[in-house]
Every structure is written in structure tokens, then in C-alpha cells.
Structure 1
């Protein structure tokens, strides 16, 4: 493997750096986008049950906010009602919407970087191949050269393109997968907020 890297020349080093970054981002996103850290299955029902008769204490709301992304969104609604008992339904929806956009933005963290690597890796590989071909043909004498040596040089130059595709294809697959997961979570957060709005409006001055 090291001999292949040496043969491919310096253009392969940016690709190696991209591969290391991509692996790190994939591992980080796989950990951060787990359901237990974003949208625990029974969290919404538990919050509705706890706040069925009265609003929870501030320390309970703080604990909820630290629980997960959905917990942070639900806690923002509870804080809005606790802090402003006369809040309107529109104001409560705005509070949920603001918190939801912030949560989705955090879920999308590093995805642009991963997508950039997926797009740039094939181009970096092609660049390495072109540079290798230029060096190969530039080293040939005007009267011709050894065909076997020329063929070997071309195969070595193509290492960059192959490695670029090896980096880009998994990165693109994971990027698409993570985008789909974030979209699913965004819908879940929106549906949770829709359920909480009428539930919390019972505790406002508007309902009394």
C-alpha cells in the first residue's frame, strides 16, 4: 500500500487527508444522529404525561432540554409558557419553530463538509492523474520511449483517479443517508411541536 502511495506521487496526499476526515465525520455523525440522542421514542408521551395537570419545575425543564434534540424543542415551549403565561398560540408556535430550526441546524453539522469531500475527491483524483500524465509524457524523449515503461507510468497515474473514487463513493452514500435521517428527524420534531401546542395552551391566560 505504501509503495502505491509513493508511486502515485504527491497529488494522492490530499486524497488521503480527505479520506481520514471523511471517516472521522461519518463516525461522529453515526454517533450524534442516533435516535436516543435526537428523538427518543417515548419522550413526547412522557412530557405530556408529566405536564398533564401542571407545568413542571424549571429544573425538570432544564433536564429535559439536555436530554436530546427533541427534548430541547419541547423545553423551549415549556419555558415560553412558564415565562409568559399570556402567550398567544402564534407566539408559542414561533417559539417552537425557532427551537426546531436551531435543532435541525445542529443535526446538519458537518454534512456540508462530507458532501464537499464526496464532490471534490473525484476531481482531486483526476487532477492527480492529469499531473501524472503530464510528467510521464514530459519525460519521454522526442524519438520515443519504452512502451512498457510508458504503460506502467500511465497505470501509476491512474491510481489517483481510483483512490479518488474510493473516497468519494462511500462519502456520497453516507452523506445521502445522513441527509435522509435529518429530514426524518425534522418531521418528527415538527409533529411533536404540533402535539404540544394545544396541550400547553391549556395553561395560558388565553384559555382561562
Structure 2
């Protein structure tokens, strides 16, 4: 900075002098002075440069030494740098491998979780007794959030090992000890024989054998017997491993349909004790309905409208005895009712006809009380069976949660009893309405015939009254003429006496 000021000083002085408009002598003096200053400045600059050159050499030597030392250090630490770079690269590769292994482990864990959850449905229920420990352990590890990945993985691997062992055993069939439940809910110890998709069971001591089937709500299979011959063959097969195999080409579907199919007698037995009164009610209802239907059809077949017409003609002619005899001989219920009413015609014909019609209708409605009562009480008995069945189910729940067959048996009893009661009521309703309709038709026919007879009788009565009135007028006229001639009464009878019978 100092050399720069020295160099610029003459120029500044010259500029100042010029600005003040100096004289030429002053300008020359200033130029001389500036030149001196310039030369001095150059001299000072040379000195400064000399000093810089003097100081630059040691600095160059230091810089060269530093660069040499840096090169030596770089050469010394180059392997370490390469190792560090390689280590960083290895770390990145390891992280990628760890991530890949973690993803693979997660994928395998998810697959094994699905395998664990679905494995129970892939094996027969009887096999859960020997695979249950490994399966429960794997399930517990899968559901335990605090379990480590290693413990979870090892538990699942244990289930896979058990599944592989089981697969090797079931090829060609296998037998193993276990427990099963009979149809009454009692637990039996015995042996299973697993052959293909079917599992057979034989209890110890030969107390029971049959096909092992799953039951809802219980880890134990239920034993369904088929026929005594097949059950004996199953027992021999399970105990000895040899014998006749109850082959089912439909992979167990036909046998399952067979053991789950119930006859009407089996359904009746499962309905419980309330089925006995329901059976009695059904017999009474259907028996009465059939008897009434046959009776009314027979009466309809015996209808003889000509006999009714002849009776009405006889009544119109005044031949009551003839009409009564025609009605007694006829098989037509309308003719009989009219004949019975004519026997009491001297009292009140309307009451006589009503009484005769009521007697015939009573014959038609005989047994309707049984039908009506049976159709009313059948659903009530079914409801009673529902209550008793549900009571048995709840009692089984409170006594033993491990007997689902007893629980379902009570529910089945309730439903069967209710169904039978409703069937009886609905089935009896059809003939009951039909019979009521037939009785209404019979009542209508009796009412029509009674109305016709009543009209005929009333018409005859009016005709007789007219005849009597004319006869009285005639007698009165004759009596008046004689009295005028003789002056005395022509007859000894009191005036107004009716000569005709009532």
C-alpha cells in the first residue's frame, strides 16, 4: 500500500497545482519534486520486493516440506482410506442384506401365520389331539406381541415339523390313541384309524365304533354309527389294522349324508317325550277329519232331490201322511228333516222345521269339537316341547360345557316338537275349513227346502181360511132368508160357529 501512495503522490500534486492554475516555474519545480518522489518510490519498491523475495524463499521451503509431508501421509494413510471406503461399502451391502433378510423373514412369518391359522381346518378333528400342543404353541406365539421374532419363528417351525411328520404317517393310513364323544355326549377312550379323508373310531372294550365326525363347539369328534355289520368291520379295522374298509368313492360325502340323514322315526325319537301327546292329537285330528269327510261325502251322494220335490207336492196337495211316509223311506237328509217337521206340524211349523234342520246339522258337525281342540292344542304342545328342550339345553350348558351334542340335542328337541305341532295345526286346518264349507252348503239346502215347505203350508192355510170365510157367508145368507120367511132362526147352532174343522 505504501509504494502505491508514493507513486501516486506526484500525480496528486500535479493535479492540485493544475487546479490552482500555477505558473510554469512552479510547475517545473513540482515536476522535479515529483520525479524525485517517484524515483524514491521505485527504490522503496525495490527494497520491498527484495524483502519479499527474502521472506518468500523460506516460505517456499516450508511449503515444499509440508507438501512432501502431506504426500508421505497420504501414502501412509491410503490403505486405511481404502479400507474405510470398503468398510462403508460393506456396511451398505450388509444393510441391504439385512433389509432383504428382514423382508424374507416377514414374508415367511406371514406365510407361516396363515399356515398356522388354516392348518386346523386342513386336518381331521381327531388329529388335533396329537397335534394340538404344537398347534397351540404356534398360535400363542403368533398372537403374543411380546414374543421375539426368533421364538415366534421357532414355534411355527415346530408346527411345520409336526405337520411333515404327520404327512409321512398318514400316507397309506395311520392309527393312534384318542378320545371321542358318542351321540349321548359321553367321552370314550379308544383308537382312531385315519384312512384318506375318513377317520374311524373304536372304543376300548368294543363299547362303540363308527365314523368320527367333527362337532361344532368341541375339539373332540363325535362318533356316528352306521349299521351293525359296518360298525363291526370298523372295529376290526381299527384294532388290527386289517379288514374290510367301508369305501366311499365320494370322499366321505355319501357316508356323511347317510349318518346325518334321519328317518321319521329318528326324528320322532329326537323330539322328546312331548311327541307322544302330539302323536295322539295328530291321530285324533286326522282320524276325525277323514271320518267326517267320508260321512259328508256319503250324505251328499245319498241326496235325492226328487224325493224332496214329491214331499213338497204332497204337502201342497194336503197329503201330509203321504209326505211323512216319503221322508221316512228316503235316504236324503233334507227329505228326512222335512218329514220330521211334518210330524209336528200341528204345533208350530217354523219351530218344527228349525228343530229338524238342527238335528241334521248336528249329525254333520259331530266331531268338529275334536278337530278344533286338536288344532288349537297342537301348537301349544309344540311350544311346551320348545320350552322343555331349551331347559334341557341350558341344563347341559350349566353342567358340562364339553358336551355340545347334549346342548344341540335339546335345541333339536325344541325345534322338532314345535315343527310337529305346527304341521298338525296347518294340516288339520284344510279339512276343517272344507268340512265347514260342506256343512254351510247343507244348512243352505235345508233352509231352502224348509222355506219352500213353510210357504206352501202358509199358502194352504190362507186358502182354507178363504174357504171357511165363504162358507160362513153362505150360511149367514141362508139363515137370513129363512128368518124372513118363518121369523125364526133356521138353525139351532149359535151364530158364527165354524162348521169346518180347524
- Give CA-to-partner distance per residue, 1:158-208, whole Å, 9 cap, x none: 110111111110112221221222122112111100111233456669725
Alignment counterpart, residue 329 of structure 2, candidates 29, 54, 63: 63
Once residues 327 and 440 of structure 2 are traced to their aligned partners in structure 1, the CA distance between those partners, rounded to angstroms, is: 26
Structure 1 partner of 2:301: 36
- Out of 175, 182, 185, the position equivalent to 2:432 is 175
Alpha-carbon separation, structure 2, partners of 1:46 and 1:57:
8
Partner of residue 310 from structure 2, selected from 34, 46, 49: 46
Q: Please point out which of 421, 433, 436 is paired with 1:164.
A: 421
| 1:78–1:200 CA contact under 8 A, matched in 2 | no
If the length of structure 1 is used for normalisation, what is the TM-score? 0.81
Question: 1:138 and 1:187 mapped to 2: Cα distance?
Answer: 57
Partners of 2:324 and 2:339 within 8 A in 1: no
Cross-structure match for 1:116:
373
1:78 corresponds in structure 2 to: 342
TM-superposed CA distance for 1:5, in Å, is 1.6
- Which structure has the highest strand share of the two? 2
Contact kept in structure 1, 2:270 and 2:413, CA below 8 Å? yes
Q: In 1, Cα distance between the equivalents of 2:397 and 2:275?
A: 23
From 270, 275, 287, the equivalent of 1:24 is 287
In the alignment, the residues of structure 1 paired with residue 396 and residue 306 of structure 2 have an alpha-carbon distance, to the nearest angstrom, of: 68
CA drift of 1:111 comes to 0.9
1:114 Cα deviation from its structure 2 partner: 0.2
Q: Distance in 2 between matches of 1:15 and 1:206?
A: 63
- CA deviation after TM superposition for structure 1 residue 48, in Å: 2.5
Structure 1 residues 145, 74: CA separation in 2 closer, same or farther (over 3 Å shift)?
same
Tell me how far apart the structure 2 counterparts of residues 191 and 57 of structure 1 sit (CA, whole Å): 17
- Corresponding position: 1:155 with 2:420: no
Q: Higher relative CO (CA 8 A, sep ≥ 6), structure 1 or 2?
A: 1
Displacement after TM superposition at 1:99 (Å): 1.2
SS at match of 2:343: helix
Deviation at 1:60, TM superposition (A): 3.6
Q: CA RMSD in A?
A: 2.6
Write the deviation string for residues 87-112 of structure 1: whole angstroms up to 9, x where unpaired.
Answer: 6xxx1112111211222222211112
Query: 2:380 and 2:398 mapped to 1: Cα distance?
Result: 29
- Which structure shows the bigger proportion of residues in helix conformation? 1
User: How far apart are the structure 1 equivalents of 2:454 and 2:324?
Assistant: 19
Take 1:206 and 1:92, find their aligned partners in 2: how far apart are those partners? 17
Count how many residue pairs are aligned between Structure 1 and Structure 2: 198
C-alpha distance in 2 between matches for 1:188 and 1:61: 15
Quote the Cα distance in structure 2 between the aligned partners of 1:72 and 1:187. Answer: 15
Hey, what's the Cα distance between the residues in 1 that align with 2:326 and 2:271? Answer: 58
Which structure's CA Rg is the greater one? 2
CA–CA distance in structure 2, aligned partners of residues 204 and 51 of structure 1: 12
